[in-house]
């Protein structure tokens, strides 16, 4: 793969950014990568493990002369970060992000950016339940999807350039408008995470089941809920607060489906349950056929980091 950007700045140095860095190094996509994290401990650790070519002590230093700036911070602070770095962006710089919500990010970031910068919101649909600079690995984006929102940038060449960058990281790239993105992710990621948090919370509240039993006898379904519920609480707090409409719509539909299942169980309607489970099982098969997971035992995890959106 050939170099696409001379200098890339990563603002935030957690799982997503660190995986981007190792992926860039694997494919030779950037001449130099700078990075910044608010936490001094995170910056220290990044330097210790060689994460980024230069770890800066301020976001403004990190973005200086950067051709591509990637905002890898929680959705709730992207506006403030954009305001901080805006005066220091080079002429023609491309700004992108990796947030799980897009309409709110556009609302918060766009007003701060200078006219000479190009904003292309993005969302790589990849991750694990682990966080921090040590969690990243170059293969995270291989055969995953990255969604780009092209409405904010009037330069098709830069959109094509960023597309090639994500493809160089191993991802499949597709364009989508912000509102549709937020609705789709409400179904595929946001609502499932909220349900997982709720299920783990319910288990914690059931005092009839001791903590040791919950841990000792946890079956695969509950283990998967706890894996998802182990995700970064700050990130997910901001996701739900910034994607209220789509999340509430999906939760409303989920509640209706749940009531229907309750009714079937209460009335002994086995045919309804069997038909429902057969229909939903087909979705799992579709995910496997699309290459987004595996049908290997234990979902092919084998102790390796597990991907989620």
In the chain, where are the structural domains located? Answer: 5-177, 180-300
66 neighbors 90 (Cβ within 8 angstroms): yes
- Mean pLDDT, rounded, for 208-213: 60
CATH class of 5-177: alpha beta
Residue, of 231 and 178, whose pLDDT is higher:
178
Residue, of 146 and 245, whose pLDDT is higher:
146
**Cα–Cα distance measured from residue 218 to residue 212, given in angstroms and rounded to the nearest whole number:** 10
- Mean pLDDT, rounded, for 187-207: 76
9 neighbors 73 (Cβ within 8 angstroms): no
Q: List, in sequence order, the alpha helices (H) in the chain.
A: 15-27, 40-48, 59-63, 78-85, 103-109, 156-168, 178-185, 191-205, 211-216, 220-229, 233-242, 244-267, 270-289
The 3-class SS string of 162-198 reads HHHHHHHCCCEEEECCHHHHHHHHHHHHHHHHHHHHH
Q: Read off the pLDDT of residues 214-249 as tens digits, 9 standing for 90 and up.
A: 666 666 677 777 777 777 788 788 888 888 888 888
Residue, of 252 and 162, whose pLDDT is higher:
162
pLDDT band at 169, cuts 50/70/90?
very high
DSSP string, 268-285: T-HHHHHHHHHHHHHHHH
- Mean pLDDT, rounded, for 105-132: 93
Spatial strand order in the sheet of 172-175: 122-124, 145-148, 172-175
Mean pLDDT of the chain: 87
Exposure string over 21-51, b if 16+ CB within 10 A, otherwise e: bbbbebbebbebbbbbbeeeebbebbeeeeb
**Cα–Cα distance measured from residue 157 to residue 154, given in angstroms and rounded to the nearest whole number:** 9
52 neighbors 136 (Cβ within 8 angstroms): no
In this prediction, residue 307 carries a pLDDT of 42
Beta bridge partners of 5: 30
pLDDT band at 282, cuts 50/70/90?
confident
DSSP 97: E
CATH class of 180-300: mainly alpha
The two tokens of residue 171 are: 């991802």
Helix (H, G, I), strand (E, B), or coil: what is residue 118? strand
- Mean pLDDT, rounded, for 71-84: 96
Which of 26-30, 83-87, 234-238 has the weakest average pLDDT?
234-238
pLDDT at 128 over 90: no
């Amino acid at each position: 793969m050939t170099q696409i950007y001379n200098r890339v700045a990563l603002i935030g140095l957690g799982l997503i950014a660190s995986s981007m860095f190792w992926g860039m190094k694997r494919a030779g996509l950037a001449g130099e990568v700078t990075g910044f994290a608010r936490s001094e401990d995170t910056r220290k650790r990044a330097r210790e493990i060689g994460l980024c070519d230069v770890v800066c002590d301020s976001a403004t230093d990190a973005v200086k002369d950067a051709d591509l700036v990637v905002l890898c911070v929680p959705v709730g602070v992207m506006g403030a970060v954009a305001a901080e770095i805006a005066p220091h962006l080079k002429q023609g710089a491309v700004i992108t992000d990796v947030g799980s919500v897009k309409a709110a990010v556009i609302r918060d970031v766009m007003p701060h950016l200078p006219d000479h910068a190009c904003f292309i919101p993005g969302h790589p649909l990849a991750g694990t339940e682990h966080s921090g600079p040590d969690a990243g690995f170059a293969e995270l984006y291989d055969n995953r999807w990255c969604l780009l929102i092209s409405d904010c940038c009037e330069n098709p060449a830069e959109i094509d350039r960023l597309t090639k960058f994500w493809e160089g990281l191993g991802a499949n790239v597709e364009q989508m408008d912000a509102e549709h993105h937020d609705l789709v992710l409400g179904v595929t990621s946001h609502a499932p995470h909220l349900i997982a948090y709720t299920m783990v919370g319910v288990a914690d509240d059931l005092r009839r089941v001791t903590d040791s039993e919950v841990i000792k006898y946890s079956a695969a379904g509950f283990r998967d809920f706890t894996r998802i519920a182990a995700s970064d609480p700050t990130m997910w707090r901001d996701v739900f607060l910034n994607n209220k409409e789509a999340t509430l719509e999906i939760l409303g539909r989920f509640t209706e489906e749940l009531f229907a299942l309750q009714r079937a169980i209460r009335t002994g309607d086995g045919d309804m349950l069997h038909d429902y489970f057969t229909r939903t099982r087909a979705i799992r098969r579709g995910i496997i056929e699309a290459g987004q997971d595996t049908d290997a035992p234990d979902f092919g995890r084998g102790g390796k980091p597990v991907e989620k959106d």
